[in-house]
């Protein structure tokens, strides 16, 4: 497969922050991304990796009314996605549907299924349950957590429940546990909080400052990966929230995003404001619990967890997504609007991951 | 017969004649042996005349047939002569016999006549003998009584003498006691013992009691003698032997004695304790010289001497007490070493340690001389093995503690700004501690090795190993210690991990920097020197050899510290940038940027930022060396390949930008510039003032950019940022040797702000300059009143 270390590129018109894997599209490896431009007309791009895997093809281009701060594809319907947008002064979130016949239309308009308009503060993200069909949606703003019931056919979303994060806890984002549809982790300035959606109560918390991003391991339950401004990447076993099971050095500047591979556990991608994407191999095995030991161990005894560092970016990388169809492919998005997908396959490597994990 | 003889005489030569005669005669006298087998064999022939089976007829026939006349005649003459001879011989014999017979008859006749008178004489003799006998019997009986009496008297006298002896015994014993002739007394008493046994209960009761009393006194005295240390060993041995003779339970005595010995051992230890105290005092540098060998040592020596003597004595006294003595001696050695071991736990100089070892070894040798079966030297070797090992280990522990103490001084008194360069002082102090401490430690161990003490000579190989191992472990744990001090906490318990963030803030950033620089120092200076030193004096043949990998490997340690130093340096930068980052976060998340008011002055966060940088500057200037020329460095970090590649990127960017007509030209060039420099933003940090400072500034500015990108500004907000950055740029240029990357990052902040601005109209440069001037003069005033807060 072509691409190799420089990857396959695709340019957006404007700056952009978010990219999402279209999980529901089982026939193609596709990603969806949206631009972040304050003063221009923003666009949503549906990108597909060509069947040969040699180029990225724009499958659809739709205009979006405002700059997009967050974008997430619906895991069970490839035509549905959510965005969080801003006009500069106000924020909004909506669920969109790609029109069915967009191939034939000249300037297809996105169909707004529902507006998540109960927010008053700055909205940070909208979450779908990553593991399959679920009629609930989560949206997180600075102060509140909303659970929505979405009815696509009726094109309506209603707030089912809402909970305030509490005083002095400014939420910044969150992650929905793929193993438990009632468990959600939210990040705020000084901690990661865990919620039970049935009661909308906090169940647990990891006290740790400045977590930028959190991501659940898709394969192993109780494993959460977090990215922090200065201190890199931490892997947590949620049953033991006092200290991380593993630490990875992260990036030279902030580590902005982390994401776990949907197929191979221990394979982690991270993107940083130092304009690099790092691929880590950090298997959590039983004998590997004692992090501190492994760190103080002589270096030659431990394989370098950093498998690869993709540094060929021109600006900070904020967007990152694994393909769930072909889990050895990921897409990254740097602020200058360049989408790049990388294929780790080169079947050797794939086998290496498999061998490492099984 | 006659004829036969005649013929024989005729026949046989003359010299045979006598023999034949004798044969014949003897056959005559002993008829049974008349015909001897020899004769038979000799004269078998029928024609031999002398044989019994002689046949005259045959002989004659043979003779006549064989011989002629002449011969016959001569034969005849011969025979006749022989016959004649034989006849005369016969006659002679008869005569002789007859004569003998006659003389015998005469003798008998004479005897007969003499015997008649003898009988009467014999009768007389018998009578006389009888009378003599009777007389002697009479004398015997008459004397018997007297003799009996005398014998009785004699016996009584003996008895009396014995009785007298027994009666005298108490007095005599008393006398013996007085003159201390215990041996005699015991002899006497044992002599009298059977009598006392037989009659002790009756007649000699008093006597027995008295002498028993005396003996008890003797026993006491003997015991006293045995136990008294002033007596000579021989006397004591004798006393023991006497006691044994007196059936005194020696075993219990022995036990008692050994107990006493043990007690004296305890005293000995007490004394050594005193010595130890003295030792400790002599640890003061002022008294160092006196050390161990002075007065207390002598006292110790004497007491051990006493102990050795005692052992010798006991061995003489109780030959079977060996095992217990061995045990005692071993105990003593163990106690000695235990004491040394405890002393080793505290700080102790090698001379003192050596002194102690020497003293112990002397003792051991002394005891070994007395009690060679105990194999004390071997035994003590084993014990010393552990002690010396402990000593080596504790020396390293103290060295480690010294270093961390030296480092922690900074932490304890961070506020003592009176000292102008606390960090520098700490760095120098800790450098000195590391190097000097290590050298001292090596010197100490050298002393151990150079010592000719038998004990240490045997342990030599082990010591070498321990020292090497010790250094290896020491540096490992030093690295761990650094990590701990730096608050990275990795080596400490895990459940503290969650508070790491909080703790990390508390750790003095300067200390981390000191640690980083110290790591470099250790890697580049200390370790090579130490390994050199080790190679010089500790290389000769470790006991286990190199293949075990326990020995000192300077390369591995160097690597460890190199990595550790880098980590620490990064950690320092991290701590510093984190502080600024907090500052920036507050600045950017608090106001509503969309409703920002027109900028009137430079925001105070810039001041705070600059203050932080000043703090960094002062710390860095104390610790790190100045960098090489900037130009040189630049050409290092920015290779030609990089620049060509960035150009390519630029071109790419430019071509793409054509399609993006919306973007302003200014913005585009700014971006292009940034991309050109992008590679340089995060270069490898070096151990120089400039490198660390610029890295921190760059990281902070990058954070600033990222924060700006997260906000949306109105025109005033944008202008505020513009103003702040402008001011910052002016001051950074003044204070920090400007690197282009910093400039570009500053530009980039403005670019980011303009991108995130709804209405990006910049301030006019004159207004900018004016506001900046106002701020500058204000801060100058401020500085005159109050010097900048350098510390924190």
* Distance, CA of B261 to CA of B307 (rounded, Å): 8
Q: What is the mean pLDDT of residues B251-280?
A: 62
> Do the Cβ atoms of B370 and B303 come closer than 8 Å?
no
Q: Is residue B408 situated within a structural domain? A: no
pLDDT of residue A156: 82
| Predicted ipTM > 0.90 | no
Which range has the worst mean pLDDT, A205-214, A314-323, B44-53, B738-747?
A: B44-53
Residues B573 and B519 in one domain: yes
User: Which residues, in sequence order, are CB contacts of B330 under 8 Å at separation 6+?
Assistant: B374, B376, B379
Cβ–Cβ contact B421 with A under 8 A: no
Give the one of A207, A254, A314 whose C-beta lies nearest to B678's C-beta.
Answer: A314
Residues B231 and B263 in one domain: no
Q: How far, rounded to the nearest angstrom, does the alpha carbon of residue A286 sit from its chain's CA centroid?
A: 27
The CATH fold of domain A8-357: Methylamine Dehydrogenase; Chain H (2.130.10)
Q: What is the mean pLDDT of residues B525-545?
A: 68
CB atoms within 10 A of CB B783: 10
Size of interface A-B (CB pairs under 8 A): 86
Per-residue pLDDT tens for B109-152? 988 888 877 888 888 999 999 999 999 999 998 899 888 999 99
Looking at beta carbons, which residues of chain B come within 8 Å of A88? 594, 712, 758
Q: Is residue B355 situated within a structural domain? A: yes
Q: What is the mean pLDDT of residues B300-314?
A: 66
DSSP per-residue letters across B534-597: HHHHT-S--SS-GGGS-S--HHHHHHHHHHHHHHHHHHHHHHHHHHHHHHHHHHHHSS-GGGPP
Domain holding B504, by residue range, is: 415-590
Phi (first) and psi of residue B713, to 5 degrees = -110, 150
Residues B308 and B213 in one domain: no
Residues B765 and B746 in one domain: yes
Is residue B689 predicted with pLDDT exceeding 90? no
Helical H runs in B689-714?
689-709
Q: Is residue B135 situated within a structural domain? A: no
Highest mean pLDDT among A46-60, B222-236, B299-313: A46-60
Residues B644 and B721 in one domain: yes
* Distance, CA of B621 to CA of B608 (rounded, Å): 20
Is residue B637 predicted with pLDDT exceeding 70? no
| Token pair listed for B428 | 């120098």
Residues B668 and B770 in one domain: yes
> Do the Cβ atoms of A132 and A177 come closer than 8 Å?
no
Residues B330 and B437 in one domain: no
Residues B555 and B569 in one domain: yes
Residues B45 and B92 in one domain: yes
Q: Is residue B124 situated within a structural domain? A: no
Residue A47: in which H helix or E strand, if any? Answer: strand A42-49
| Structure-model confidence comparison of residues B99 and B711, the more confident one | B99
Q: What is the mean pLDDT of residues B736-760?
A: 80
Distance from CA of B785 to the nearest CA of A (A): 37
pLDDT of residue B581: 84
Q: What is the DSSP letter of B55?
A: -
Looking at beta carbons, which residues of chain B come within 8 Å of A210? 581, 585
* Distance, CA of A193 to CA of A176 (rounded, Å): 12
What is the number of structural domains in chain B? 5
Cβ–Cβ contact B590 with A under 8 A: no
Per-residue pLDDT tens for B374-395? 677 777 777 777 777 887 788 8
Q: Do A292 and B758 touch (CB under 8 A)?
A: no
DSSP per-residue letters across B595-659: GPPPP-S--HHHHHHHHHHHHHHHHHHHHSPP-S-HHHHHHHHS-HHHHHHHHHHHHHHHHHHHH
Residue with tokens 């004699």: B154
Give the one of B594, B678, B682 whose C-beta lies nearest to A88's C-beta.
Answer: B594
Per-residue pLDDT tens for B576-624? 888 888 888 888 888 888 888 888 888 888 888 888 888 888 888 777 7
Residue whose C-alpha is closest to residue A161's, from A192, A195, A128, A186: A195
Averaged pLDDT score across all residues of chain B: 71
Cβ–Cβ contact B23 with A under 8 A: no
| Structure-model confidence comparison of residues B725 and B197, the more confident one | B725
Give the one of A11, A290, A314 whose C-beta lies nearest to B675's C-beta.
Answer: A314
Residue at which a domain ends, from B590, B619, B651: B590
Looking at beta carbons, which residues of chain B come within 8 Å of A39? 662, 758
Looking at beta carbons, which residues of chain A come within 8 Å of B712? 38, 86, 88-89
Residues B586 and B600 in one domain: no
User: Which residues, in sequence order, are CB contacts of A55 under 8 Å at separation 6+?
Assistant: A8, A49
Looking at beta carbons, which residues of chain B come within 8 Å of A244? 497
Residue whose C-alpha is closest to residue A10's, from A61, A60, A59, A56: A56
Residue whose C-alpha is closest to residue B480's, from B489, B471, B470, B472: B489
Q: Do B577 and A230 touch (CB under 8 A)?
A: yes
pTM, 2 dp: 0.65
* Distance, CA of B94 to CA of B622 (rounded, Å): 165
As a whole number of angstroms, the longest Cα–Cα distance in chain A is 62
Which range has the worst mean pLDDT, A268-272, A277-281, B286-290?
A: B286-290
Distance from CA of A154 to the nearest CA of B (A): 35
Give the one of A13, A241, A273 whose C-beta lies nearest to B706's C-beta.
Answer: A273
Give the one of B489, B494, B649 whose C-beta lies nearest to A290's C-beta.
Answer: B494
Per-residue pLDDT tens for B643-688? 333 333 333 443 343 334 334 544 555 556 555 555 456 667 777 7
Residue at which a domain ends, from B115, B130, B154: B115
Residue at which a domain ends, from B575, B590, B605: B590
Residue of chain A minimizing CA distance to B662: A40
Strand partners, A61: A45
Give the one of B493, B498, B757 whose C-beta lies nearest to A207's C-beta.
Answer: B498
pLDDT of residue B58: 83
Looking at beta carbons, which residues of chain A come within 8 Å of B649? 314
Residue whose C-alpha is closest to residue A29's, from A1, A59, A70, A64: A59
Cβ–Cβ contact B562 with A under 8 A: no
Phi (first) and psi of residue B232, to 5 degrees = -75, 160
Residues B173 and B76 in one domain: no
Cβ–Cβ contact B653 with A under 8 A: yes
Q: Is residue B430 situated within a structural domain? A: yes
Q: Do A208 and B498 touch (CB under 8 A)?
A: yes
The three-state secondary structure class of B13 is: coil
């Amino acid at each position: 497969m072509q691409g190799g270390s420089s990857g396959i590129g695709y340019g957006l018109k404007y700056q952009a922050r978010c990219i999402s894997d279209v999980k529901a599209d089982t026939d193609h490896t596709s990603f969806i991304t949206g631009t972040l431009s304050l003063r221009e007309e923003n666009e949503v791009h549906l990108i597909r990796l060509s069947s040969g895997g040699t180029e990225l093809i724009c499958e659809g281009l739709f205009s979006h009314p405002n700059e997009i701060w967050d974008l997430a594809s619906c895991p069970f319907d490839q035509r549905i996605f959510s965005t969080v947008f801003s006009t500069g002064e106000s924020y909004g979130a909506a669920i969109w549907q790609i029109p069915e016949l967009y191939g034939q239309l000249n300037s297809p308009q996105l169909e707004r299924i529902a507006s998540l308009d109960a927010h008053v503060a700055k909205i940070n993200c909208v979450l779908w349950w990553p593991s399959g069909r679920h009629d609930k949606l989560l949206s997180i703003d600075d102060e509140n957590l909303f659970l929505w019931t979405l009815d696509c056919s009726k094109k309506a979303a209603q707030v089912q429940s809402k909970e305030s994060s509490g005083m002095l806890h400014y939420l910044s984002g969150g992650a929905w546990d793929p193993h438990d549809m009632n468990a959600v982790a939210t990040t705020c300035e000084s901690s990661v909080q865990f919620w039970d959606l049935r009661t909308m109560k906090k169940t647990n918390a990891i006290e740790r400052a400045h977590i930028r991003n959190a991501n659940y391991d898709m394969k192993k339950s109780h494993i959460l990966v977090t990215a922090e401004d200065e201190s890199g990447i931490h892997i947590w076993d949620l049953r033991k929230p006092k200290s991380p099971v593993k630490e990875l050095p992260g990036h030279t500047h902030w580590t902005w995003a982390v994401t776990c591979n949907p197929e191979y556990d221990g394979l982690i991608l991270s993107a940083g404001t130092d304009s690099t994407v790092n691929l880590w191999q950090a298997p959590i095995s039983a004998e590997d619990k004692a992090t501190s030991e492994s760190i103080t161990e002589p270096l030659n005894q431990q394989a370098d967890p950093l498998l690869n560092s993709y540094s060929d970016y021109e600006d900070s990388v904020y967007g990152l997504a694994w393909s769930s169809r072909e889990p050895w492919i990921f897409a990254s998005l740097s602020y200058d609007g360049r989408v790049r997908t990388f294929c780790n396959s080169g079947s050797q490597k794939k086998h290496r991951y498999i061998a490492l994990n099984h | 017969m006659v004829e036969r003889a005649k013929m024989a005489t005729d026949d046989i030569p003359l010299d045979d004649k006598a023999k034949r005669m004798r044969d014949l005669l003897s056959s005559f006298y002993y008829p049974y042996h008349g015909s001897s087998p020899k004769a038979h064999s000799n004269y078998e022939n029928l024609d031999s005349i002398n044989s019994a089976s002689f046949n005259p007829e045959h002989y004659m026939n043979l003779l006549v047939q064989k011989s002629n006349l002449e011969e016959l005649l001569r034969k005849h003459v011969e025979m006749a002569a022989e016959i004649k001879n034989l006849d005369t011989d016969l006659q002679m014999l008869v005569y002789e016999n007859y004569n003998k017979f006659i003389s015998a008859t005469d003798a008998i006749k004479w005897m007969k006549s003499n015997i008649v008178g003898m009988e009467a004489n014999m009768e007389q003799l018998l009578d006389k003998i009888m009378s003599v006998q009777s007389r002697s019997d009479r004398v015997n009986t008459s004397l018997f009584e007297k003799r009996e009496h005398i014998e009785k008297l004699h016996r009584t006298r003996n008895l009396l003498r014995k009785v007298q002896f027994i009666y005298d015994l108490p007095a005599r014993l008393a006398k013996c006691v007085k003159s201390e002739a215990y041996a005699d007394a015991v002899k006497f008493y044992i002599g009298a013992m059977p009598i006392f046994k037989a009659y002790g209960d009756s007649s000699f009761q008093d006597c027995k009691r008295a002498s028993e009393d005396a003996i008890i006194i003797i026993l006491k005295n003997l015991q006293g003698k045995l136990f008294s240390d002033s007596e000579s060993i021989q006397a004591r041995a004798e006393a023991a032997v006497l006691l044994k003779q007196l059936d005194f339970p020696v075993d219990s005595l022995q036990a008692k004695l050994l107990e006493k010995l043990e007690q004296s051992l305890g005293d000995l230890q007490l004394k050594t304790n005193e010595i130890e105290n003295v030792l400790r005092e002599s640890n003061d540098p002022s008294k160092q010289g006196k050390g161990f060998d002075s007065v207390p040592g002598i006292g110790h020596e004497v007491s051990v001497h006493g102990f050795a003597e005692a052992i010798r004595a006991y061995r003489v006294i109780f030959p079977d007490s060996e095992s217990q003595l061995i045990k005692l001696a071993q105990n003593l050695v163990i106690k000695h070493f235990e004491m040394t071991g405890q002393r080793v736990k505290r700080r102790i100089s090698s001379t003192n340690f050596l002194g102690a070892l020497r003293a112990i070894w002397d003792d051991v040798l002394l005891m070994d001389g007395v009690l060679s079966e105990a194999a004390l030297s071997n035994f003590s070797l084993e014990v010393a093995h552990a002690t010396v090992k402990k000593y080596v280990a504790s020396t390293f522990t103290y060295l480690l503690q010294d270093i961390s103490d030296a480092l922690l001084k900074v932490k304890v008194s961070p506020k003592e700004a009176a000292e102008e360069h606390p960090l520098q002082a700490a760095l120098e102090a800790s450098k000195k501690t590391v190097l000097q401490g290590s050298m001292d430690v090596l010197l100490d161990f050298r002393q151990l090795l150079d010592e000719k003490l038998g004990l240490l000579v045997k342990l030599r190989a082990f010591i070498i190993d321990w020292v090497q191992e010790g250094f290896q472990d020491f540096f490992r744990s030093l690295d761990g210690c650094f990590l701990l001090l730096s608050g990275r906490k990795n080596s400490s318990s895990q459940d503290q991990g969650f508070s790491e963030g909080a703790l990390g803030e508390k750790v003095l950033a300067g200390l981390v920097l000191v640690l980083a620089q110290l790591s470099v120092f250790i890697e580049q200076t200390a370790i090579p020197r130490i390994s050199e030193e080790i190679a010089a004096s500790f290389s000769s043949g470790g006991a286990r050899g190199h293949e075990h990998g326990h020995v000192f490997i300077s390369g591995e340690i160097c690597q460890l510290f190199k990595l550790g130093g880098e980590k620490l340096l990064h950690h320092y930068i991290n701590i510093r940038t984190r502080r600024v980052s907090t500052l920036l976060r507050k600045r950017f998340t608090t106001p509503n940027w969309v409703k920002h008011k027109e900028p009137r002055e430079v925001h105070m966060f810039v001041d705070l930022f600059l203050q932080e940088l000043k703090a960094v500057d002062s710390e860095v200037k104390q610790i790190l060396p100045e960098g090489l020329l900037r130009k040189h460095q630049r050409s290092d970090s920015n290779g030609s390949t990089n620049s060509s590649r960035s150009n390519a990127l630029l071109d790419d960017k430019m071509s793409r930008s054509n399609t993006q007509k919306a973007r302003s030209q200014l913005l585009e060039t700014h971006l292009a510039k940034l991309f050109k420099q992008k590679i340089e933003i995060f270069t490898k940090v070096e151990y120089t003032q400039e490198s660390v400072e610029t890295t921190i500034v760059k990281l902070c500015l990058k954070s600033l950019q990222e924060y700006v990108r997260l906000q949306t500004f109105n025109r005033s907000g944008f202008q505020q940022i513009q103003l702040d950055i402008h001011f910052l740029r002016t001051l950074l240029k003044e204070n920090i040797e400007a690197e282009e990357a910093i400039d570009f990052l500053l530009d980039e902040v403005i670019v980011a702000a303009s991108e995130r601005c709804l209405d990006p109209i910049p301030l006019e440069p004159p207004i900018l300059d004016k506001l900046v001037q106002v701020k500058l003069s204000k801060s100058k005033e401020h500085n005159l009143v109050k010097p900048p807060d350098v510390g924190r």
